[in-house]
Amino acid sequence: MNINLTLFGQTIAFAIFIWFTMKFVWPPVTRAMQERQKKIAEGLDAAGRAQRDLSLAQEKATQTLRETKEQAAQILEQANKSANLIIEEAKEQARSEGERLIAAAKAEIEQEMNRAKDQLRAQVAALAVKGAEQILESEVDSAAHSELVNKLASQL
Amino acid sequence: MATTSAEYIQHHLQNLTFGKLPAGYQRADGSIVEEATWTLARTSSEAADMGFMAVHVDTLGWSIFMGLIFLGLFRFVAKRATVDTPSGLQNFVEIVVEFVQGIVKDTFHGRNPLIAPLALTIFVWIFLMNSLKWIPVDYIPGIGMALGLDYFKIVPTTDPNATFGMSIAVFALIIYYSIKIKGVGGFTRELTLTPFNHWALIPFNLFLEVLGLLTKPLSLALRLFGNMYAGEVVFILIALLPFYVQWVLNVPWAIFHILVIPLQAFIFMVLTVVYLSAAHEDNH
């Protein structure tokens, strides 16, 4: 409990310890801590930026997707439309072709019929003359009666 | 070994003193010192008679040893301090450093690169010195006895020399920065013209301010010393009980010191920072 030189010894030791701490302990430790703090702050910053970029990219992607979908729908619609048109046209063509064919057939039939009629008429005339000949048993002057027969034939 | 309880207590509270005995001094064993010699005190009265020209070898030795542990550990980490993920030891050191940094940042408003390292030194060093109290009171003196040393008191902060030694350094810093920041004139004005700014009250002001100034190192040193010394005395008293009941009191008291030891180190640090902060403020 006596106060003695220990007092100064302690003061000197204390002063040296403070000096050493100030010179060799405090600066490196705090520097490392500060640098780490900075690094972490930068890292967080970068993470935030990346997140922002990501959300931006996502937004862009969805937008592109939407646009693409719209475009696809448009293309599909157009394709449908043109397909319909083509079908319509084909139908139209088929119909007109058919009509044309029918008309041609009808005309041919008509022709054929007329020809048959003419033939028939001629045959009928000849048949009639022959019949009359036989009925009369006499020679009929075909020249004299042909007018009459023709008139008859045309009435058929 | 001491025989009575009083002797036992006295023995445990006596530092190992190396000092100068005057010529013609009669030592405890009856021999007379021929001429002034430096020697180890064999009894308390010899230590007292050595007066100021003596050194407490145990106090100085253990405090310097603790200081070297502190510096060694922290320097070891500081040299290897990495910016990347710190290892366990570096983590620990950084926690301590950050803690001290936070206290200093909150309390000290000037700019001084000395304050934070000073606070760190005080906190860790005093903590280490105080923590020697956890070593049972008989162990180290027993070893000392076996080595032929009559006294051995290992907790440096139970020696007023140690606590006053530190508070004197703090006091010197207070005076130094008061004068450096405020100038001789400013500091003198502060001492003489506050709190009452009137020439007639200068002596009264001076008395108040000087008292306030001197109270700072005194309270620092006495608070730490008082707490540690009282705790040590209680440990010694407990050690007087029969060995099989000692733990009943010893264990709670030691557990209580988990609180006391860091707290006293913390208070010494915070008050030092507060006093130095006041020394830096020129607002009178």
Q: How confident is the model at residue B248 (pLDDT cuts 50, 70, 90)?
A: very high
- Order of strands across the sheet with B37-40? B37-40, B17-21, B54-56
What's phi and psi for B154, nearest 5 deg? Answer: -90, -25
pLDDT at position B2: 46
B59: nearest CB among A6, A22, A32:
A6
Average pLDDT, chain B: 90
Measure Cα distances from A67 to A22, A73, B242 in Å. 65, 10, 92
Mean pLDDT of B155-159: 93
Chain B residues whose CB is inside 8 A of the A34 CB are none
Mark whether B205 is an active-site residue.
no
Rg of chain A in Å (alpha carbons):
61
- Using N-to-C axis directions, what is the helix angle for B115-131 and B88-107, rounded to 10°? 120
Catalytic residue among B131, B223, B250, B277: B223
Higher pLDDT, B142 or A69: A69
CA dist., res. A127 & res. A132, Å (int): 8
pLDDT at position B232: 92
Containing B242, the helix (H) or strand (E) segment is none
Residue A36 neighbours by CB under 8 Å, 6+ apart = B83, B84, B86
Q: Does A37 touch chain B (CB under 8 A)?
A: no
pLDDT at position B45: 86
> Predicted ipTM?
0.90
With CB atoms and an 8 Å threshold, state whether A4 touches B51. Answer: yes
Q: How confident is the model at residue B1 (pLDDT cuts 50, 70, 90)?
A: very low
pLDDT in tens, B49-103: 888 889 999 999 999 999 999 999 999 999 988 888 888 899 999 999 999 999 9
- Residue in chain B closest to A26 (alpha carbons) equals B117
- Residue in chain A closest to B221 (alpha carbons) equals A7
**Is the pLDDT at B142 greater than 50, yes or no?**
yes
Average pLDDT, chain A: 90
Mutate: best of B105, B118, B157, partner A, most A CBs <10 A: B118
Catalytic residue among B219, B250, B277, B283: B219
Question: A76: exposed, middle or buried (C-beta count within 10 Å: 0-12, 13-18, 19+)?
Answer: exposed
CA dist., res. B50 & res. B176, Å (int): 33
Mark whether B131 is an active-site residue.
no
Mutate: best of B121, B124, B153, B272, partner A, most A CBs <10 A: B121
**Is the pLDDT at A121 greater than 70, yes or no?**
yes
Containing B21, the helix (H) or strand (E) segment is strand B17-21
**Is the pLDDT at A85 greater than 70, yes or no?**
yes
Q: What is the DSSP letter of B138?
A: T
Chain A residues whose CB is inside 8 A of the B117 CB are 18, 21-22, 25-26
Q: Which residue has the tokens 């008139």?
A: A151
Measure Cα distances from A69 to A66, B69, B79, B222 in Å. 5, 73, 62, 84
pLDDT at position B46: 85
**Is the pLDDT at A8 greater than 90, yes or no?**
yes
Measure Cα distances from B190 to B51, B173, B215 in Å. 37, 17, 16
With CB atoms and an 8 Å threshold, state whether A1 touches B156. Answer: no
CA distance B134 to chain A (A): 21
CA dist., res. B98 & res. B92, Å (int): 10
Extents of the domains making up chain A: 44-155
CA dist., res. B1 & res. A99, Å (int): 142
pLDDT in tens, B180-224: 988 898 888 888 888 888 888 889 989 999 999 999 999 999 999
Residue B198 sits at the vertex; the CA angle it makes with B193 and B199, to the nearest 5 degrees, is 85
Neighbours of B13 (CB within 10 A): 17
Sequence-separated contacts (24+) of A129-135 with Cβ below 8 Å: none
Residue B63 sits at the vertex; the CA angle it makes with A28 and B226, to the nearest 5 degrees, is 115
Mark whether B227 is an active-site residue.
yes
Q: Does A30 touch chain B (CB under 8 A)?
A: yes
pLDDT in tens, B4-39: 888 888 888 888 889 888 888 888 888 888 888 888
Half-sphere exposure of B247 (CA within 13 A, CB side): 1
pLDDT in tens, B118-136: 999 999 999 999 999 999 8
Residues belonging to chain A = 156
Mean pLDDT of B246-252: 92
- Give the rounded percent of residues in chain A with a pLDDT score beyond 90: 72
CA distance A43 to chain B (A): 12
For residues B18 and B57, the answer to whether their CB atoms sit within 8 Å is yes
Q: Mind giving me the DSSP string for chain A?
A: ----THHHHHHHHHHHHHHHIIIIIHHHHHHHHHHHHHHHHHHHHHHHHHHHHHHHHHHHHHHHHHHHHHHHHHHHHHHHHHHHHHHHHHHHHHHHHHHHHHHHHHHHHHHHHHHHHHHHHHHHHHHHHHHHHHHHTS---HHHHHHHHHHHHHH-
Residue B117 neighbours by CB under 8 Å, 6+ apart = A18, A21, A22, A25, A26
With CB atoms and an 8 Å threshold, state whether B117 touches A22. Answer: yes
Higher pLDDT, A146 or B166: B166
pLDDT in tens, A25-37: 999 999 999 999 9
* The two structure tokens encoding residue B75: 């320097």
CA dist., res. A32 & res. B80, Å (int): 10
CA dist., res. A20 & res. B278, Å (int): 25
CA dist., res. B177 & res. B162, Å (int): 23
- Give the rounded percent of residues in chain B with a pLDDT score beyond 90: 55
- Where is average pLDDT lowest: A33-42, B79-88, B166-175? B79-88
Q: How confident is the model at residue B283 (pLDDT cuts 50, 70, 90)?
A: low
Mutate: best of B13, B73, B83, partner A, most A CBs <10 A: B83
